[in-house]
Structure 1
Amino acid sequence: MAAPLPFRDINVHASASHYAFSSPSSPSTPTLVIDRPSGDLRLQDDKMLGSKRVSSIAGILGMIKLRLDKYLILISKAKPVGKLKGHTIYKVVATEVLPLRERQLKDPDEETFVNMIKAVIKAGPMYFSYSLDITSSFQRQSQTDITVPMWKRADDRFFWNKFLQTDFMDFRAGGTTRYGFRQVSGEQPAIDPYILPVMYGMLEIKNASVKGHPFKFAVITRRSRFRAGTRYFSRGIDEQGHVSNFNETEQLILLNDDDSRGLGGYEGSGGYQNGKIGGSAGQEVQVLSYVQTRGSVPVYWTEVNNLHYTPKLQVRAVESAVHAAKLHFDEQIRTYGDNYLVNLVNQKGREKRIKDAYEQLIKILVSTPSEGKEADRKTSEKFDVIEADEVHQKFDRLHYVYFDFHSETKGLRWHRAKLLMEQLEQPVLSGGYFRSIDMPGDSYGRVEVRNTQRAVVRTNCMDCLDRTNVVQSMLGRYIITRMLIDLGYLREGELCEDDAAFENLFRNMWADNADVVSKSYSGTGALKTDFTRTGNRTKMGMFNDFNNSTTRYVCNNFLDGPRQDAFDLFLGAYLPESAAGNIFVDNRPLLIQAIPYIVAGGVFFILVGSFTRRDLEANVWPLRLMMIVSFLVAGGCLRFMWTHGTLFVKWPKLNPPAHLGLQDVLSHAEEGKKRKE
């Protein structure tokens, strides 16, 4: 028997002593009660008296304990964005944060924490389904046990609100249920429908066709909750083997997936939960799925913001990262099979250190590595390939492929990016893709698996954004052509891009994906999306890239510190209940804090003095002297800021980075402050 699914409708009742949650469509299920202000949970079989219905909600995102109080985070509004196999997918549109204390204690840090939570939710595209586990790829879904509650089946990496659900999951493991006057302790499976897994990332579903053959096309990108953060404050790998900006992107073709059909697939059981698969024999839903991943280079490295456009790069000894890299790739191999590691960083300049570190790491992990270079007519070094001569141990399933993306495509020669596809063609074909067909009449919605994906392409550049997006969309186009040929929609030698309408849809969906992934990490849309959307690099596209690069500079130096704090708070990387003192107070010396204002004042005075009208008989030398002084003072302050840029970056406050350069500058500044005192 399938486990009950999350409630689609929840009523909220409130009183001075508790919040109560119940589902009007399931009146026989217990009421979830959260006591105020303690936050203790209990299930109650009878109706709650003395409470007033406040509203109806789409789901409970979770509960978090901040410095002074606990807060419930409710999904107050969600909008449907499409259906997959009859399962409606929703996007979180609005949330409500409810304090457990009836009379709030005023504290500036507490208000800052609450605003951070709201900022993460507002900025992040979050999706969920009541009947489909969208945190898992369709291949993983086909291997799960439907008798287990959805939140237990969810992929731990992409269960974005898992930390917020900790109280509910702990209660499930051993809470108290009240039946009339009798209380029963132990496991509480009745709370399962209140636990709703939410995914952070990108999800688009479109109806498409190629050569008159209709199908549904979807792209889903899931962002990992581990080591999540912003561009320069989250780089490389951590000791648990989690890498920054790790995303899994799944590209889907669904056949016979009529939105009016009943639920099909992996969730079919129980009332609306077990509606039989619609459609006549021979019209069962088919799913074709291909998964790619991206993630930061898995060594210990970082870039220290210093107000320069290119921050200072620091790379620790590769040997120190071997254990963490083994943890990372062990998970990747268990999850995806063989890993083809496509590295797109530059082989010259500052990025060369990252390239060398990555290659050194792979040589350590792979037994008896053999290294080869492949050349063509126009370049002497197109690819570096590192892999084992023979498979002797687990990490020999790693295959490293280097492609100097910028060098090969410079001068708007973007067609040369396809050279990488030629290198990857055979591994991609041998790795295959997932394909399943619904079993007709199966009341549990099980599927027959026709094929599985046995390998994954893991792509990275420095940020795992712009170059990575171009390569992943190129790989996605290749695999969908292969899928359509296997389905008989195309003949060998034909390409999906030959259909102009589908090509336009494909390009725009992948460009949307690029923008979402980039915005969540860097603060702006992706670069090079003109190539993704049109297939050509344009001057207007380069101008837009300049605007985005400028915005990234501002975000990364002056806005990303609070954004990183918000991620750490939301995901549980920082626990505020143990915090003491004024966390967000600026502890820099007062003179350091004043320098940007001095610069602004000097520039303002120069502009006013330059454009203000003056009488012809007025003495201008005092004004000119003041303008010269303002210019010298502002120039001196700007030079100081440029020399000691780390002092003026907006750093995270909750988990401040342990960059050696930053600590040195702060120490010198603090010593100067003490000497003056």
Structure 2
Amino acid sequence: MELFQAKDHYILQSGDHALWCSRIDGTMNARPATDLLLAWNPVCLGLVEGLIGKIQLHTDLPLGLILIRQKALVGQMPGDHKVYKITKIAVIPLSEEEPLDLELELCKKHHFGIDKPEKLAPSPDESKYLMKTLSQIKSNVGAPTKKKVKENKEKERLERRLLDELYKIFMDSDSFYYSMTYDLTNTVQRQGDTEKSNLPQWKQVDDRFFWNKHMVQELIDLQVPEVDFWVTPIIQGFVQVQELVVNYNESPEEEKSSPDTPLQELTCVDDIHPRFTVALISRRSRHRAGMRYKRRGVDTDGHVANFVETEQLIHVHNHSLSFVQSRGSVPVFWSQAGYRYNPRPRLEKGHWAS
């Protein structure tokens, strides 16, 4: 997937699909890939793996576009569905300012023999301002006051601190996973619902575990089929997939070491499908997430704090066996202030309250 920078937009392009993200107001629109010809001086910044969504870290800061910069293959679910873990992200401010070095992998098609992406050439409108004399610039722009300089420095520090925290969430926790073809939000039993089988993947997901739904809500609200390609459901939790071979004829260790035991060829009873796929998937709800002692109980919509669904899955002989466990906070209205001295829980509503 290629990332282009134009004068007024950042453009994501993959095959026949393109997503235009405005650098003026942050709006996103799905457009045909051929519309790249209409962009003003587009420059390829490099390759990305996918779109997470759009976020505003603070009201004083511009909207930011969060992209998957690097992924790692976790394994393959039954049916050759690949599952990936997000290992690195890139955050691009949706503003007219030049982005910092994103450290993206260079696109071989647009960067053959080039070490770094080219910078945008100034447009004719911008060039005429550069022709102004120094005296004209001084007359039009007043010298910044000390207060203004201090505010700008504080804003830069705030932005840097929030970005560092955002990078840590993705790069240090190792807890964000996705698949382009497999629904990680639903158990095997819920996936058996045939009523949704013909819908795009993001419309089949369990809303509780669609972690980045708020970040792509603008695309969802467009309600056009062109956005289906760009909406990738991401879960927060843990995923591990392993393939195992069970040898039913294998002898115990003590028999192997005995000189009287003849050597046996290690064979599996099932010569056609000797492999078992074992998967462990933990999904954390996006509702009422938080620190254990600071987020307790249930809300008025029935969502309990820190709800997690863990599924153990075994697939063999075209059959899937699934065991699901759920955990969460006690489903009553209660809270707990502090955690240093083991404070007693406080009930906030009784069964008579509505």
Q: TM-score, normalised by structure 2?
A: 0.70
Note the alpha carbon deviations across 1:488-539, whole angstroms, 9 max, x for none: xxxxxxxxxxxxxxxxxxxxxxxxxxxxxxxxxxxxxxxxxxxxxxxxxxxx
Structure 1 stretches lacking a partner, 5+ long: 1-9, 174-187, 257-284, 324-677
Select the structure of larger CA radius of gyration. Answer: 1
Note the alpha carbon deviations across 1:262-288, whole angstroms, 9 max, x for none: xxxxxxxxxxxxxxxxxxxxxxx2211
Which of 120, 135, 140 is the equivalent residue of 2:190? 140
Residues 1:121 and 2:108 are matched in the alignment: no
Between 192-201 and 139-148, report the one with greater CA deviation: 139-148
Which of 194, 204, 215 is the equivalent residue of 1:153? 204
Indicate the residue corresponding to 2:4 in structure 1. Answer: 13
Indicate the residue corresponding to 1:207 in structure 2. Answer: 243
Kindly state the Cα deviation for residue 102 of structure 1 after the two structures are TM-superposed: 3.0
Given that 2:86 and 2:174 are in contact with CA atoms closer than 8 Å, whether structure 1 keeps it comes out as: no
Kindly state the Cα deviation for residue 306 of structure 1 after the two structures are TM-superposed: 6.0
Indicate the residue corresponding to 2:134 in structure 1. Answer: none
The aligned amino acid for 1:303 is Q
Q: In the superposition, relative to structure 1, how do residues 295 and 90 fare at CA in structure 2: closer, same or farther (>3 Å)?
A: same
The aligned amino acid for 1:114 is L
Kindly state the Cα deviation for residue 152 of structure 1 after the two structures are TM-superposed: 1.1
Note the alpha carbon deviations across 1:355-374, whole angstroms, 9 max, x for none: xxxxxxxxxxxxxxxxxxxx
Note the alpha carbon deviations across 1:360-414, whole angstroms, 9 max, x for none: xxxxxxxxxxxxxxxxxxxxxxxxxxxxxxxxxxxxxxxxxxxxxxxxxxxxxxx
Indicate the residue corresponding to 2:74 in structure 1. Answer: 81
For 1:44 and 1:300, the matched residues in 2 are separated by 47
Structure 2 stretches lacking a partner, 5+ long: 99-151, 249-273
The aligned amino acid for 2:325 is Q
Q: In the superposition, relative to structure 1, how do residues 320 and 16 fare at CA in structure 2: closer, same or farther (>3 Å)?
A: farther
Between the aligned residues of both structures, percent identity stands at: 34
Given that 2:22 and 2:28 are in contact with CA atoms closer than 8 Å, whether structure 1 keeps it comes out as: yes
The aligned amino acid for 2:350 is V
Indicate the residue corresponding to 1:97 in structure 2. Answer: 91
For 1:55 and 1:222, the matched residues in 2 are separated by 32
Given that 2:87 and 2:170 are in contact with CA atoms closer than 8 Å, whether structure 1 keeps it comes out as: no
Q: Return the structure number with greater strand share.
A: 2
For 2:347 and 2:191, the matched residues in 1 are separated by 38
For 2:316 and 2:73, the matched residues in 1 are separated by 21
Query: 2:219 is paired with a residue of what secondary structure?
Result: helix
The aligned amino acid for 1:287 is S
The aligned amino acid for 1:150 is Q
Indicate the residue corresponding to 1:313 in structure 2. Answer: 345
1:99-248 alignment runs, 5 A limit: 99-103=93-97, 107=155, 108-122=157-171, 123-144=173-194, 145-170=196-221, 172-173=222-223, 188-210=224-246, 212=248, 214-248=275-309
The aligned amino acid for 2:43 is K
Kindly state the Cα deviation for residue 300 of structure 1 after the two structures are TM-superposed: 1.6
1:354-369 alignment runs, 5 A limit: none
The aligned amino acid for 1:244 is A
Kindly state the Cα deviation for residue 211 of structure 1 after the two structures are TM-superposed: 5.5
Query: 2:210 is paired with a residue of what secondary structure?
Result: coil
Q: Return the structure number with greater helix share.
A: 1
Query: 1:95 is paired with a residue of what secondary structure?
Result: strand
RMSD between aligned residues: 2.1
Indicate the residue corresponding to 2:271 in structure 1. Answer: none
Query: 2:207 is paired with a residue of what secondary structure?
Result: coil
For 2:48 and 2:306, the matched residues in 1 are separated by 31
Given that 2:54 and 2:64 are in contact with CA atoms closer than 8 Å, whether structure 1 keeps it comes out as: yes
Note the alpha carbon deviations across 1:29-80, whole angstroms, 9 max, x for none: 4x21111121122233324241111111111000013413100000011111
Kindly state the Cα deviation for residue 115 of structure 1 after the two structures are TM-superposed: 3.3
Given that 1:124 and 1:200 are in contact with CA atoms closer than 8 Å, whether structure 2 keeps it comes out as: no
Kindly state the Cα deviation for residue 150 of structure 1 after the two structures are TM-superposed: 0.9
The aligned amino acid for 1:72 is L
For 1:220 and 1:44, the matched residues in 2 are separated by 35
How many residues are matched? 265
The aligned amino acid for 2:54 is M
Note the alpha carbon deviations across 1:144-171, whole angstroms, 9 max, x for none: 423211111111000011111112212x
Residues 1:301 and 2:347 are matched in the alignment: no
The aligned amino acid for 1:160 is W
Q: TM-score, normalised by structure 1?
A: 0.37
Given that 2:293 and 2:339 are in contact with CA atoms closer than 8 Å, whether structure 1 keeps it comes out as: no
